[in-house]
Amino acid sequence: MQHPHLLITSAGRRAKLVEYFVKEFKTGRVSTADCSPLASALYMTEDHYIVPKIDEVDYIDHLLKLCQEAGVTAILTLIDPELSLLARSAERFQAVGVTVVVSPYAACQLCFDKYTMYEYCLRQGIAHARTYPSMESFQEAFSIGEVSLPVFVKPRSGSASTEVRQVETFEEVEQLFAKNRDLIVQELLVGQELGVDAYVDLISGKVTSIFIKEKLTMRAGETDKSRSVVREDVFELIEHVLEESGLTGPLDFDLFDVAGTLYLSEINPRFGGGYPHAYECGVNFPAQLYRNLMQQVNVPQIGQYMSDVYMLKHDTVTLVSAAELQQIKR
Amino acid sequence: MQHPHLLITSAGRRAKLVEYFVKEFKTGRVSTADCSPLASALYMTEDHYIVPKIDEVDYIDHLLKLCQEAGVTAILTLIDPELSLLARSAERFQAVGVTVVVSPYAACQLCFDKYTMYEYCLRQGIAHARTYPSMESFQEAFSIGEVSLPVFVKPRSGSASTEVRQVETFEEVEQLFAKNRDLIVQELLVGQELGVDAYVDLISGKVTSIFIKEKLTMRAGETDKSRSVVREDVFELIEHVLEESGLTGPLDFDLFDVAGTLYLSEINPRFGGGYPHAYECGVNFPAQLYRNLMQQVNVPQIGQYMSDVYMLKHDTVTLVSAAELQQIKR
């Protein structure tokens, strides 16, 4: 069996995660790619590549060529907008011997369309904040007292939490819809926010790891401090959510615990920004991915980690000279 | 000469800076304090202390007692709101043999009152964005075309960049003043933002180091990526700004280069969030502070660093168990 050579694309600022991969792929190889030479994660791997922006027409062609030239055998992206793109091109990569580590296209779309996700939860009997896909449906629910202000107004698709806003008045909801019809209105949940990292084995399709953390503080849209917890009810919910979803590989969930009832808030079908907490507590997704790429099945080990451990994020720095920047392969 | 024992207070998330201190104080000692046991920087030093919040009445008494019990010989804070507090209490610390590494109270106040700083710049002939301390003064300047929209509206004092907003209409400026009179209106400068780290020797009072970086991207209010530059015009400006200021120790400046003209934007009389760039390029403030605390004068070495080196910040993590948290000295 050939040792895997993983290319991590849109590596960005996620240097710590790339370091974990380098450590776990000792007998394999890890390379990185990004459109900017100022992406710190590039410098965690010996081989790193500057590639076009993901919205450029030749992006996939460029990646395919790069994979062939560099002997890449698997590809993984760290950002949402690239997931569907790679999922749609999975066959082209497969044809040149490259495994795309991504959920199927339909499963990615389920995660990115907030109203489709709500309907999925209704069907599966999973608690979810009430969600309205239009001004009319919100107005009707509001008039019969099914939902009350304040509410969240968010773009129906898209992952930018910067565009999510809490709205206090009915008039403001109307104004937002007047400017942009592609919004949803969501009931405001008040409770403890939980972040969950899960891994679904690429070969068996079974959930092999679930790690739960209470989110304590956020910074720049990411979990900055969190606390690990072990909860059977969360394990059960995640397994139930995943049953019919088709999702696979590394996944990130946001939940709310509202007085003991668990609400699913969203699923990101990729490594979450808070994953280092799971890794440091012994929940090792890079090692599981390595085994999958070696055609080995992982044994489920749900809940095997330390509870009540706090993760504190802080900054470190990488220095790069202008001369080094100019030498990067393009 | 006794080796110094430095206590870094309000250490917060600045783990990297604390690590530099630990390295440079090898023959001395560094301890840390914060009001929260979830401050990551605490865990970079062997001895760390949970202290009251800085606005609690017994904060200074608590610190004085801690310094005496732990044999602390010098104290340094990393956050703005604590600077004036320590400056005002410097004599009480001195009386028990503790050097407070802070600029004099009047110099701290000069930095925190944005209108006083503007008047200081006018007197010293230093370019600065036009600044108006009231609705009336802004209205007058606006009516004669001295300033045009958009403008910045900021609290007159305080360091929270979150409260700074760009305002597009005259009416909105009026509305903001109607809610809060303690604001200033500032001309909008469009140019390259520069961050400068400077060290003024505690004994000689001379500027010994000046490090300049172009700010490339910001994240959570801090410089995330920057590029080192060497510019004589900036060195001259900083030396001129400091002449009459009374400022001492580690300092952080924000400047704007507007088509070649340098404008002073603000001074933070403490370590800046982007200081790791300077340190990694060889501009070593912790070592200079160590020598000062050993009663040695530093020799000026202005401009002795590599130009065109990029700093990229990224995250790392520290894990702490609940059991460890409970053991911290209070």
Residues B26 and B85 grouped into a single domain: yes
Residue A41 with chain B: CB contacts under 8 Å: 314
Residues B220 and B155 grouped into a single domain: no
Residues A295 and A221 grouped into a single domain: yes
Distance from CA of A231 to the nearest CA of B (A): 17
Residue B194's alpha-carbon distances to A208, B107, B212, B236, in angstroms, are 49, 22, 7, 14
Residues A295 and A225 grouped into a single domain: yes
Spatial strand order of the sheet with A151-155 comes to A131-132, A183-187, A151-155, A165-167
Question: Is A299 part of any domain?
Answer: yes
**Token pair in block for residue B122:** 């006018």
* Smallest CA–CA distance from A40 into chain B, residue: B312
Task: CATH number of the domain at B89, please.
Answer: 3.40.50.20
* Of the candidates B142, B182, B190, the residue with the CA atom closest to the CA atom of residue B166: B190
Q: Domains in chain B: how many in total?
A: 3
Question: Is B160 part of any domain?
Answer: yes
Q: What is the pLDDT of residues A45-71, one digit of tens each?
A: 999 999 999 999 999 999 999 999 999
pLDDT score, position B244: 87
Q: Rounded to a whole number, what is the largest CA-CA distance in chain B?
A: 65
Best of A226, A281, A319, A327 to substitute, by most chain B Cβ atoms within 10 angstroms, is A319
**Boundary-marking domain end, from A187, A221, A256:** A187
Whether B38 and A225 lie within 8 Å, measured CB to CB: yes
What mean pLDDT is reported for chain A? 95
Residue B219 with chain A: CB contacts under 8 Å: 220
**Token pair in block for residue B214:** 């172009």
Distance from CA of A248 to the nearest CA of B (A): 26
**Domain limits for position A179:** 130-187
CA B199 – CA B205 distance, rounded (Å)? 10
% residues pLDDT > 70 (chain B): 98
Residues B199 and B175 grouped into a single domain: no
Question: Is A122 part of any domain?
Answer: no
Whether A38 and B14 lie within 8 Å, measured CB to CB: no
* Residue A194 near residue A261, CB atoms below 8 Å: no
pTM for the model stands at: 0.94
* Of the candidates B216, B129, B116, the residue with the CA atom closest to the CA atom of residue B164: B129
Distance from CA of B309 to the nearest CA of A (A): 4
Question: Is A113 part of any domain?
Answer: no
Residue A159 pLDDT class (50, 70, 90 cuts): low
Question: Is A78 part of any domain?
Answer: yes
Question: Is A108 part of any domain?
Answer: no
Average pLDDT, stretch A112-119? 95
Residue A161 pLDDT class (50, 70, 90 cuts): low
Best of B162, B306, B312 to substitute, by most chain A Cβ atoms within 10 angstroms, is B312
Distance from CA of B22 to the nearest CA of A (A): 15
pLDDT score, position A221: 84
Whether B315 and A276 lie within 8 Å, measured CB to CB: yes
Distance from CA of A306 to the nearest CA of B (A): 9
CA A196 – CA B141 distance, rounded (Å)? 55
What are the residues of chain B with a beta carbon less than 8 Å away from any beta carbon of chain A? 13-16, 38-41, 43, 216-217, 219-220, 224-225, 227, 276-277, 280-281, 306, 308-322, 325
Other Cβ atoms within 10 Å of B58 Cβ, number: 10
Whether A312 and B319 lie within 8 Å, measured CB to CB: yes
Residues A233 and A305 grouped into a single domain: yes
Q: What is the pLDDT of residues B20-78, one digit of tens each?
A: 999 999 999 999 999 999 999 999 999 999 999 999 999 999 999 999 999 999 999 99
Whether B314 and A276 lie within 8 Å, measured CB to CB: no
Beta partners for residue A305, in sequence order: none
Residue B292 pLDDT class (50, 70, 90 cuts): very high
Q: CB within 8 A of A61, min separation 6: which ones?
A: none
CA B46 – CA B131 distance, rounded (Å)? 46
Average pLDDT, stretch B6-25? 98
Beta partners for residue A214, in sequence order: A194, A227
**Boundary-marking domain end, from A145, A161, A187:** A187
Q: Measured at the alpha carbon of residue B53, what is the angle toward residues B84 and B50, in degrees to the nearest 5? A: 115
Whether B315 and A16 lie within 8 Å, measured CB to CB: yes
* Residue B181 near residue B242, CB atoms below 8 Å: no
Residues A226 and A301 grouped into a single domain: yes
Counted across chains A and B, CB pairs separated by less than 8 A come out at 121
Residues B208 and B168 grouped into a single domain: no
Q: What is the pLDDT of residues A291-318, one digit of tens each?
A: 999 999 999 999 999 999 999 999 999 9
Task: CATH number of the domain at B265, please.
Answer: 3.30.470.20
Residue B159 pLDDT class (50, 70, 90 cuts): low
* Of the candidates B54, B118, B124, B116, the residue with the CA atom closest to the CA atom of residue B88: B54
CA A310 – CA A281 distance, rounded (Å)? 10
Residues B205 and B299 grouped into a single domain: yes
Residue B322 with chain A: CB contacts under 8 Å: 227, 308-310
% residues pLDDT > 90 (chain A): 92
Whether B315 and A313 lie within 8 Å, measured CB to CB: yes
pLDDT score, position B162: 60
Residue B152's alpha-carbon distances to A233, B147, B148, B219, B252, in angstroms, are 50, 11, 11, 20, 21
Question: Is B111 part of any domain?
Answer: no
CA B271 – CA B286 distance, rounded (Å)? 10
CA B2 – CA B153 distance, rounded (Å)? 49
Question: Is A157 part of any domain?
Answer: yes
DSSP-derived 3-state class of residue A89: coil
* Residue A267 near residue A252, CB atoms below 8 Å: yes
Whether A277 and B319 lie within 8 Å, measured CB to CB: yes
Q: Give the closest of B220, B312, B319 to A317, CB-based.
A: B312
Residue A20 with chain B: CB contacts under 8 Å: none
Residues B195 and B308 grouped into a single domain: yes
Q: Measured at the alpha carbon of residue A265, what is the angle toward residues A238 and A213, in degrees to the nearest 5? A: 60
* Smallest CA–CA distance from B313 into chain A, residue: A317
- pLDDT reading at B121 higher than 90: yes
Average pLDDT, stretch A203-228? 96
Q: What is the pLDDT of residues B171-223, one digit of tens each?
A: 999 999 998 889 999 999 999 999 999 999 999 999 999 999 999 999 988 89
Whether A325 and B317 lie within 8 Å, measured CB to CB: no
Q: Give the closest of B38, B225, B319 to A38, CB-based.
A: B225
Whether B322 and A308 lie within 8 Å, measured CB to CB: yes
pLDDT score, position A160: 59
Residues A91 and A150 grouped into a single domain: no
What mean pLDDT is reported for chain B? 95
pLDDT score, position A242: 95
Residues B155 and B201 grouped into a single domain: no
Task: CATH number of the domain at B172, please.
Answer: 3.30.1490.20
Q: Give the closest of B224, B308, B320 to A321, CB-based.
A: B308
Whether A312 and B276 lie within 8 Å, measured CB to CB: no
The structure tokens 């002449």 sit at: B243
- pLDDT reading at B272 higher than 80: yes
Whether A13 and B315 lie within 8 Å, measured CB to CB: yes
Q: Give the closest of A15, A306, A311 to B314, CB-based.
A: A15
